Amino acid sequence: MLNFEFHNPTHLVFGRQTIQRLKALVPKGSRILLTYGGGSIFKNGVHQQVLAALEGFHLVEFGGIEPNPRFETLMKAVELARAEQIDFLLAVGGGSVLDGTKFIAAAVPFAGKDPWEILTSTGKVVKSALPLASVLTLPATGSEANSSSVISRESTSEKLHFGSKLVYPVFSILDPETTFTLDARQTGNGVIDTFVHTCEQYVTLHSGAPLQERFAESILSTLIEDGPKALSHPSDYDSRANLMWCATQALFGLVGPGVPGDWASHGIGHELTAFYGLDHARTLAVVMPGVWRHQFNRKLEVLAQYGSRVWFLDGEDRWLASQAIDRTEAFFESMGVPTRLSAYGIDAKEAATKIRSRFEERHARQGEDGLITPVDVEKILLSRA
């Protein structure tokens, strides 16, 4: 097992009717900026619950944060927060709203010339941030309990990541009932997002960390069991609760310590979103099976283990590993998430050329140990036509 440090300061409040706890959790006298996305919180009643719980607080609202939060939009929120002397941020929504709010938290006090440096430095320039919290309504990214954020910049077709211990949410409220109104697309995306996050810390190189492997396998097994249930019975509390907790646990920090993470699927997928606007989870569903097949021999042992323990297959290792990839693709498709670029109207050759060039410009390599070159990325994408 590799050396690691673990610390997660986020206070998680899980269960029914927990939004009413906001009044006690938000510091008294706070000047709050309430952030949200396209307005689903008005339809499902969450907005009304939040306002009722925060009665008496100074509250300013900022909506319209996109599914892939844009730098240009978020800078408007930064200006509003500064003008209103905001000192506490509350994100109500899914991972995109949370990611955007983390950027706002870091950008409001940022003293540099260009807040985009927060992204280009991967967070190294972040010296302070406003406190933030969340009410989660779309479980997928685990952003409600980690220090990571991914932001897009429309003007340059870029999508970059930053992380800082200063943007951990102070608390996050997780009420599974807020997810009952999620449609099939949102549900499928959330399951696949969680699944891939888990696999990128599990289907890597063996590092003598059996406990972390079994954490990952339990999350994957639960997703396979409860994902289809949530699609067929959207208001089933137990299924929704299990999916919400899986999404948080996938990136809470317990699966990855001591393990070499392989974030190649994320790295490549971010570029598909940047160039084509494809949903984040859908890029992952396309890319990850291609990464696994390209790295088949290197990942053979753990892919075979995955096939045996998660899919309950029996056979020799190469067959197990191959079947495990096939079962994964079939599961993604069963959740309504296609796994081929052609299903999204994207030309694989064009995408492969664009993304290879971008990685060459950045001198960027992918994978646990940086062995996936820009040329390899091109091959992976061509295989996903």
Q: Residue 373 corresponds to which amino acid? A: T
pLDDT digits (tens, 9 = 90+) for 195-215: 999 999 999 987 789 999 999
φ, ψ of residue 14 to 5 degrees: the values are -115, 135
83 within 8 A of 75, measured Cβ to Cβ: no
Report the pLDDT value the prediction gives residue 205, as an integer from 0 to 100: 86
**DSSP state, residue 145:** G
Q: Residue 366 corresponds to which amino acid? A: Q
Per-residue confidence band for 341, with pLDDT thresholds at 50, 70 and 90: very high
Q: 11-178 with 184-382: one CATH topology?
A: no
> How far is Cα 244 from Cα 246, in angstroms, rounded to an integer?
5
> How far is Cα 55 from Cα 118, in angstroms, rounded to an integer?
34
Q: What radius of gyration do the chain's Cα atoms show?
A: 20
**What are the extents of the domains in the chain?**
11-178, 184-382
- Residue 117 class from Cβ within 10 Å (0-12 exposed, 13-18 middle, 19+ buried)? middle
* 142, 42, 103, 280 alpha-carbon torsion, rounded to 10°: 50
**Helix 317-334 and helix 280-294: axis angle, to 10°?**
170
- Residue 312 class from Cβ within 10 Å (0-12 exposed, 13-18 middle, 19+ buried)? exposed
* Rounded alpha-carbon distances, angstroms, from residue 19 to 63, 136, 177, 242: 19, 10, 11, 19
Mean pLDDT, the chain, integer: 95
92 within 8 A of 61, measured Cβ to Cβ: no
Q: Considering the entire predicted model, what is its pTM?
A: 0.94
Q: How many CB atoms lie within 10 A of CB 253?
A: 17
Tell how many helices (H) and how many strands (E) occur in the chain.
15, 8
Report the pLDDT value the prediction gives residue 343, as an integer from 0 to 100: 97
195 within 8 A of 223, measured Cβ to Cβ: yes
Report the pLDDT value the prediction gives residue 1, as an integer from 0 to 100: 86
Q: Among residues of the chain, what percentage have pLDDT more than 70?
A: 100
pLDDT digits (tens, 9 = 90+) for 265-311: 999 999 999 999 999 999 999 999 999 999 999 999 999 999 999 99
Residue 115: both structure tokens together? 């807040």
> How far is Cα 299 from Cα 275, in angstroms, rounded to an integer?
29
E strand residue ranges, 154-282 = 158-163, 171-174
3-class DSSP state of 173: strand
| CATH class of residue range 11-178 | alpha beta
CATH (residue range 184-382): 1.20.1090.10
